[in-house]
Chain A
């Protein structure tokens, strides 16, 4: 709500109150407008007695109730608007704090880039390519806790795997575990494969089945086609884990 609107609201309330006062003025005359009758101060809970000899004022205006209702609703609206203004001010304060923190990070980032000795000319070259004012800034030192300009995307109730969970720590933990069990995977595969093959070979030999017609020999050959692929995959997996530490600096 704009300030002018609040002001209008205020004026409206005051106008309504004036009307009320005009309506009621004969009964609740102000001390400045008429002499104060002698009144005994009421005890607590007692109603104020009318002064003796009070004139008869006739019937109240038929609009009195309506005006009172309007005035009450306007007052409640005014209270609500005041709270809104309070919240807006709080939002502004947060935004200012964010700007302040981002400026600190930008300074730190400039320090980081300068420490890396990028050539000034290069910076000029790509200056037009740095993110638009709407873009969040480049990387900054240390995890931030400020409210994000980009709406947090716990992607519309995704069942699993929100990108906010994909942290460096989790990656290093996962990849570290994999590295740690590389030998076990290698030897485990060899031992388990040998065991299964031995059992199958034993069963095949124990079956004492007659030698089938020779043309059937192509069937096991078909079966063997992917074997080199699997062997290469096993070897490659072991090699890539042995040669490369895939962890990243945190």
Chain B
């Protein structure tokens, strides 16, 4: 039996240096304070040159603390010429190959800039890699960091409850509701490196492409990773909108350009995108019914209306309950309701926004809290951001 090594890999542009610092230090902290972890570890921060040079002292400090800083060379190109985060991920994969780390005893735990870990995360990873039956595992992500109760933060709570759906779908053959994460997943290095991240051009949702390829090559090898990861939601509605736009473009890209996607799976991925797109027309139909008075036609829909409404409300309530032990700030029920409605409306509009606009490579979602960023002196404070984001 081989002693597993877990490579904690944070892959990001690197401009959210404080968030990244907190992420790396959360790993180092809990490696130290979690008893009996059954693995050895490595910590890699894979960043772009502009990210590194935005706060060199932060990176130097992390290097001294035990992290390996991997700066993706500007002239690095993948065979298919992928761009963005997939390019950085492919670079890290190539590097593992050169260092002899692409082996079954090495596991890669993927983090975004703002994916902090807890004691539970590490215990969950240890549990997963020592079990070793599944080749890839993902878990539930909470969003308690810097949570202030803004509309985008409240909307993020629903994602944690939705993760239960994601975990179920992911572990089912065919992934019927297209569930996966771009962070908080652990994968065997040889599996990741054999599949790679390379694709033609810019893949907005490299994580979805990766999941599709692993499934196509290895079958249903997905498992549940116990333990939460702890992230932060977008700080503004505009950031939330841009983040969702990227996801929708990822779905469209996968449906149109992913050759490994079997027809059946292509249909389910397309349907998940369509159901999201239909949210805005659904709201319009609901409002229009007041004026158009097509009541009798609503006989059929009214049977399901209760279920849809309850499911949506449940996502907020249960999302909040999952976070309740972690949120330092409570919000009043009316504010929660009002902000939840605004956040939901942004999610309803987002896929349509995605249909009329395009994400760019320079799109990056700020994850360093705005008030801190304004204060300057990033490096010295050295505290702790996503592209899944």
Contacts and interface: CB of A to CB of B under 8 A. Distances in A.
Interface of A: 112-113, 116-119, 122-123, 125-126, 129-132, 134-144, 148-153, 155-161, 163-168, 170-174, 177-178, 185, 189, 192-201, 204-205, 207, 209-212, 216-217, 219-220, 222-237, 239-241, 244, 246-249
Contacts, number: 322
Contacts of B116: 161, 163, 166
Interface of B: 1-3, 5, 18, 21-22, 25-26, 28-43, 64-66, 101, 105, 116-124, 126-127, 144-148, 161-162, 164-165, 167-169, 171-172, 176-177, 224, 226-228, 230, 232, 271-272, 274-276, 278-279, 281-282, 285-286, 288-289, 292-311, 314, 318, 321-322, 324-329, 369, 372, 381-384
Contact of B29 (A141, A156, A164): A164
In terms of DSSP, what is the predominant structure of the interface of chain B? helix
B283 to A, nearest CB: 9
Contacts of B318: 178, 185
29 contacts: A112-B36, A113-B3, A118-B2, A119-B1, A125-B2, A126-B3, A139-B32, A139-B37, A153-B22, A158-B22, A158-B145, A159-B369, A161-B146, A164-B29, A166-B119, A168-B123, A171-B227, A189-B314, A192-B306, A193-B307, A196-B309, A204-B299, A219-B285, A220-B300, A222-B282, A225-B278, A227-B307, A230-B308, A249-B127
Which 10 A-B residue pairings sit nearest by Cβ, starting from the closest?
A166-B118, A135-B66, A196-B306, A160-B328, A139-B37, A236-B168, A156-B383, A171-B120, A197-B306, A161-B144
A21 B384 CA distance: 60
Nearest to A192: B310
Given A153-B383, A163-B25, A204-B302, A122 B3 contact: yes
A249 B296 CA distance: 55
Nearest to B276: A226
Contacts of A239: 168
Contacts of B167: 240
A246 B226 contact: yes
B363 to A, nearest CB: 25
Nearest to B383: A156
A234 to B, nearest CB: 6
Contacts of A226: 275-276, 278-279, 282, 308
A227 B271 CA distance: 11
